[in-house]
Structure 1
């Protein structure tokens, strides 16, 4: 009799687990042709369970979530300690989450010296139109937000500043808000590595050059103020990029630009970003709700 009860319990547990997996967010791997770089890249797309099983065919808001340097498009799905984090957030907030490719050092901008690195054009002209054509999205700025970590944090801010017609809110986690790597709290060996990488991307080994300043978010405060996008900035107090985040925060305060700014204990780690992402998604959800762009 005991064995029979254990057998029935095991079957019940299996059925319950199967039911849970049946009502979980779905991950697509979307192929995105890039005419700008003459190749194709992939993007990971997390579709909430309500989207997959919806009968009313509602249009959904979209979060573009960018990876950091030395990373690739699947990082947010594979590198967080909790591998269900992005899927659970998509389900919790009825949000499509798109994670595009930015290459190991593309910085989500169009390189002035490397024609094979045009990731601003790729995201804006190729990824977003492809996503809107493939899925039921709210295909305007009222239903589109963007965030990212480190290089992706700078990319999220950079793209939203330059294309305010496409986004209603932007966020950055541990973002390199100034591309002047001499301001980073890093070792000499890492400094040399960054110098070589930036020379390939921007064509200069000088961190104080005009081209570096031109592409740095910290120098775009006037545009941020003019655009009026909702902004959340988040960085750990022990992060090697904390100084450039504080600098942007102070410039925004001085220019009376509304924004949310968060510092908490933490370093440049996936544990920190796993903790940060739910705050960003909640921030975005409130903006989307105000716009009437949420799905109940």
Structure 2
């Protein structure tokens, strides 16, 4: 009996150690231009631009609508959705699965032609931190995209969206750069971490401090509410099985109390997964941006 218990303990310890090692599997080193995955979709283009803020070439992926290059479309301009990836560090391929939803919707003509751009968020995804200027790279990317492609190069023709770290980034950018976007869809963001930054003088964790400390989705909302600026249309989305769900619910209530109009879609049973959320309500999210573009005048009303 003792030998059996000892053997079981050894097996359990080995299994737990293996699981822990897999959980702590090191991330590949950050690169401003990420290599394409083996299963990269052929309908997405991988491009770079030079970032003055980072003194480096920075990668991005772009989905152009079908027919963009046809001679008959030469005079047509398109609205743009910027899709911010989750996770740290950043990489322009990290959210590329989401391109398939947009492509299918355009192919099915359930949404009109729209350009989708997938940025590289930098070493600390969507922050300027140390020598990695993720936010500055994003602002430079917008200028590059407007100069390179036939976009509607104004607020009325831009939307920002993201999940997890990208949901947090969207929540910050839509207030800091409200002059750039008419529509925003922060999804699955860890707003409890943003709240901790607000309440702890910028400290997100024992090893990470965000500067300036007001650069968080709670304080930026307060500043925005007091600014009198025109707000983008805001759609918060999260699954009720996501570990970030309660924080999203609380943040939605925070915005509402501040007088910031927003909608909140709760996805029953969806965990912390952008694809689970999009499988359920992706069409609603895409249509939300389309309606924003229509209300702003970038797209014709139905």
3-state secondary structure, aligned to 1:158: helix
TM-score normalised to structure 2 length: 0.73
Give how far 1:86 is off: 3.1
Q: Which runs of 4+ in 1 moved over 3 A?
A: 89-92, 180-183, 223-227
Gaps of at least 5 residues in structure 2 are 1-40, 198-203
Match of 2:49 among 32, 40, 58: 32
Which residue number in structure 1 is paired with residue 67 of structure 2? 50
Which residue number in structure 1 is paired with residue 232 of structure 2? 229
Spell out, residue by residue over 1:197-255, the C-alpha distance to the aligned partner (whole angstroms, 9 max, x if none).
Answer: x52x637xxxxxxx55x122022223443332110001111211112211211112222
Which residue number in structure 1 is paired with residue 101 of structure 2? 85
Give how far 1:180 is off: 4.5
Which residue number in structure 2 is paired with residue 262 of structure 1? 265
Give how far 1:110 is off: 1.4
3-state secondary structure, aligned to 1:221: helix
Whether 1:244 and 2:247 are equivalent positions in the alignment is yes
**d(CA) in 2 for partners of 1:73 and 1:167?**
20
Matches within 5 A, 1:257-296: 257-265=260-268, 266-275=270-279, 276-294=281-299
- Name the count of aligned residue pairs: 245
Which residue number in structure 1 is paired with residue 116 of structure 2? 97
**d(CA) in 2 for partners of 1:264 and 1:54?**
42
**d(CA) in 2 for partners of 1:181 and 1:231?**
19
Contact 1:62 1:98 in 2 (8 A): yes
Which residue number in structure 1 is paired with residue 175 of structure 2? 161
The root-mean-square deviation of aligned C-alpha atoms, in Å, is: 2.6
Gaps of at least 5 residues in structure 1 are 1-23, 184-193, 204-210
Spell out, residue by residue over 1:106-148, the C-alpha distance to the aligned partner (whole angstroms, 9 max, x if none).
Answer: 231212xx1x221111111x10111011100000001011000
Give how far 1:49 is off: 0.5
Contact 2:160 2:174 in 1 (8 A): yes
3-state secondary structure, aligned to 1:146: strand
Contact 1:169 1:230 in 2 (8 A): yes
**d(CA) in 1 for partners of 2:116 and 2:251?**
27
The structure, 1 or 2, with the larger RCO (C-alpha pairs under 8 Å, 6+ apart) is 1
Give how far 1:178 is off: 4.1
Contact 1:26 1:48 in 2 (8 A): no
Spell out, residue by residue over 1:17-58, the C-alpha distance to the aligned partner (whole angstroms, 9 max, x if none).
Answer: xxxxxxx99422121211211211111000010323361421
**d(CA) in 2 for partners of 1:153 and 1:146?**
10
Contact 1:102 1:119 in 2 (8 A): yes
TM-score normalised to structure 1 length: 0.74
